[in-house]
Chains A and B, each alone.
Chain A
Amino acid sequence: MIGHIYDIAVIGAGPGGLSAAAHAAELDVSHILLESSPRIANTIQKYQKGKHVMAEPGILPLRSPMDFDAGKREAILEGWEQGISRHNVNVRYSAEVSKIDGEKGAFTIGLVNGESVTAKHLVLGIGLQGNPRQLGIAGDQAGFVQYQLDDPDEYKDEVIVVVGAGDAAIENALALAPSNKVYIVNRKDEFARAKEGNLNLIMAAIESGEVECFFGTTPARIDPPTDDQHQGVFVLNTSTGEATVPVHRIIGRLGAIAPRGLVESFGIEFPNDDPSAIPALSSQYESNVPGVYVIGALGGYPLIKQAMNQGYEVVEYVLGNKVKPADHNLIAAKFLPLPFELEVDEVLEMMQQRIPVFEHVNALQFRELMLDSDVHVLKKGQVIFSKHDYDNSFFTIFEGNVEIEVSENIRIPSGVGNFFGEMSLISGRRRSATVIAGDECVVIETPRRTMNKLISSVDAVKRVLDQTFIVRTIQQKFAPETPIEDLMSIAEKTQINRYAPGQVIFSQGDVGDSLHFIRNGSVTVSGDLDGKEVVMSYVPANQTVGEMALLGNTTRGATVKATVKTETLSLDVESFQMLLTRAPGLKERMQQVAESRSLQNIESQSSAEEEGDLLSFLMGQGLGEATDVLLIDEGLCVACDFCEQACAATHDGTSRLNRKAGPTFAHIHVPTSCRHCEDPSCMKDCPPDAIQRGGAGGEVFIGDNCIGCGNCEQNCPYDVIQMSYKTEAPSSYWKWMLFGFGDKPGKASSAGVVAENAIKKAVKCDMCMDQPGGPACVRACPTGAAARMSPEDFVDLVSVEH
């Protein structure tokens, strides 16, 4: 069949695709919009009912024929439906694209249902959510098989089978269980992928019979019903044979198939295997396949407004018009303080020319990077950051120079095109030097997340940063007085090693042939004590282990293990000898370190076993990646809950710590509360980049621009983030104390007022950064049971004196 050849085929009716198709319609360009689900904007449809959608970033203007402003999910979707009919958008639903053939001017788009569509240009806006993994068995197309659950309260008295063992499956099963007969089907014999909290809940529900679980079971097929009570019969392959369950509903929660495979099959290239990599695009959103454009979340723009703006722009670009991107003025404003008058594009170009790290970054990516970055014009002598600061953005020098003060009397100058701040970026630890502006200094500050995104998508950037990290580390740690040039040959032989949590870096008795510098993560040092492995100490990032081997000991005296995902730099004997000849005094210094370590080990020998067990327990709780954690001494805690009350009272009525929850070992209790991880998992997937680290204590905190998407809640391995409304609980101490009026101060109040239009936002411990006196939980504890500390202090926990 030879059908109509459209000028533009837009794939995916998310905010980006809708906006593109509507703009094409507005301009009377022949177009078609293909959407795999039966409705528009599947990602937004999946938000929780009544969710208040935010229009971040607030300063970015909207440019689209479709309306969009902050508001309820339902209202926004309805507005878009109206937009479709107003502009006469040609949209085809339930049209999942599975194949693309042909080239610019004549693409053939194959759909899953076998049909095809032809078009001259393609705009790909399929987002990142992917399509849910199907059951893949006979009968799975039936109407009662679904892959999402909007509102558990919709179902009553049904027999429902949930297939899957992840958090989504567990949460659905638990939510449905009170009013339905629920089964959960798990391919394995345990819920290994689930978070601790969910795991406990589902195991308790299975134990009590509230949910019935088929372990070690896979779905076989779905047969027609045998009675008129049910919708079908679900046949399962259990370890003991076939089982049949007459059902009303089957919910598959097997995760989503990331769209990457599909996109690659279209011929679009990704720079590397990193799951977060983004296809390389031109500044006009065109991919390496001419005529195929990528917009929205798939192209690395995770917010609705950005996607919509790109939808508009991409149509202009396809038509050959040169429009300035909607964010043009934002970038222009950043360049305003610069001491010269140039067009935005010219400045961008100049920056890429001058700064070698950014040389291999494509124009679009660089532009995006600059949107997130800040340009600072500095006076001579101004401090850019100080040693021991906690921030971890990345700096490049655009004009002039800076001085890096490694130690009191050593200042290393650095000029145009160089960068600094990569150490904290990579290690997640405090700044290791102070940097001071020199003459006519202009620097670009790029936030951690933006930089990490760049590192994962442009290999050249990663390579340069790694190399620099290595030489600078060697210089700082071992040879501060030796010029960088002399260290290059050693740096080249230095290796970067990556370890999984729990992986052994070297074992006691091994031949010692190298020294490791921990560049991120942390390790434990353990020894053999009467046949039992006992943890002796914890070593955080920025320290070396295994140096004894190079100072004469040929076998390892202890076992070193990664506590969390850890990277080390290793130097072999030969390079180390070379280093010794080039760095005067190094040998003596290393010997001193080794000596004081041995002394420490001997001192703590008496309580070694007890201490070791406690340390192992704490590491088992993932505290190896903590920078600051609340620990409660059960020998002092009188269970008054003032810590929680204090937290709630100082944080909009919701306590960010749960004292009772969490495990206890010996007398140390780890309540559920944020540990301010070194490399916070919660930050990873935050669309508005609302989670930041900074401040004097290096706290990880969530900004007001949180859009309430819940990603961080899912991503935090320690279950410390909650989605909650702000509630103000007005209470007066004197009224309560003297007359019993009102709520007890600090108690999350039932009468707490939830403002109209309030949205549930992510909340977690912010280490009381706005409290002048510091952590309220600790300050409110009457007995001294609650204390915040960093892992370096754990060793002292055993030797408590009350």
Chain B
Amino acid sequence: MRHLKGLSALATLSLGVFLLAGCSEQDEPPRVRLWALAPPEVTPTDADSRVPLRFAVALAVSPQEGYQLYGDLAEALGQKIGRPVHLILRRAFSEVNDLVRSREAEMAQLCSRGFLQGHADFGLTALAVPVVNRRKSRPSYVIVSAESEIGTPAELAGKTFAFADPLCAPEAFPAGRGGQRPEAFFRRKLLITGHDRAIRAVAEGLVDGALVDGLVYARLALTDPGQVAKTKVIGETAPYMNPPVAVHPGLDPTVREKLRRALLTLHEEQTGRAVLTRLAIDRFAAPGGEVDGRGR
């Protein structure tokens, strides 16, 4: 009888183990009704009832990089003007111009070519120009891999080449001085969105060379020196105006003045200086003659 008891205990234990083995996750999960559809809920915005100032930026870098850089700038400006600044990122300067023209954005920063086009189209007005290395203009660089044997732009003939922003890029490539179009000069021409990505493409050997914005290159040398060290500059374009901060001509003069003052004095405060350092900008300066097209 004792044996019988032992056997029944063993059988019960085995059965228990077997049953438990199949019993993980026995807690009751929350219920959802997949077949009962309704309009999505909208979460109300912050209690801040002040109308934000919309700041559109034509990106020379990837959206995430741009969000980090210009997000800080927008916040710093907002603090200075006492009004929230809402950042709007776009890839092409034409989109930014469209936003300003249609009054969907009050302020914009875009490449000099875009600015000139907006200035010509609807009187886009420059408020400030970044000063980088004490200059309001900079060239674009022709870069190749640091290990590459290519030493001059002319040696890129028949190679793969990347442009980060064809609309902002100079019309004539430095090597094409003989009037040769890039399509004919290079074996293959690529479009890579974002100058930072174009630099990485060269550093990682995906393309033989790239034409990149001088400002982005200088900033990346600060934030990611390892990446930049894998590349070398073998040529540069003629300098052209650093991307200005501009507003719609019809913007309330008070606001415009506030903005202008905020921009020109940003470097005077610690927070502003930190933001500018991350953007690799010395300071913002009042625009000069370059905004009329002379600084191209």
A and B interact: no
